[in-house]
Amino acid sequence: MKKENDHLIKISVMFVTMILLTLIAFYIVYSEWISNEFLPYVLIFLAMIQVVIQLILFMDIKEKEGRYRITSVAAGGFIAVLTIFFLAIL
C-alpha cells in the first residue's frame, strides 16, 4: 500500500508543479521580467518541463518496453521540429 501512496503523492506534487510552472510563465510574460530576446527560449523550456512530467509520470513512457514508446514520440518530435524550423524561416 505504501508504494501506491507514494505514487499518489508524486502525482499531486507534480500537478502542483505544473500549475506553478504555468503561472510562472504567465507572470514572466505579464511583468515583462525577462528581455524579449531570451523569452521564447525560457518559455519553451518551461513548457518542455511540463511535457516531460506528463510523459514520464502520467503516461508511463518509461514503463515496460519504454524504448518503443520513447522512440515513437522522439521520432515524431524530431520531424515536428524539422517541419516547424523550415516553415518558420519561410
Closest by CA position to 7, among listed 68, 60, 64, 69: 60
Cell (9 digits) for 53: 512530467
CA dihedral of 33, 35, 41, 42, whole degrees rounded to 10: -20
> Minimum distance from CB of 73 to other proteins (Å)?
6
Kindly tell me which residue out of 9, 33, 62, 72 binds other proteins, with binding defined by CB under 8 A.
72
Q: Which residues bind other proteins (CB under 8 A)?
A: 4, 7-8, 11-12, 15, 18-19, 22-23, 25-26, 29-30, 36, 39-40, 43-44, 46-47, 50-51, 54-55, 57-59, 64-65, 68-69, 72-73, 75-77, 79-84, 86-88, 90
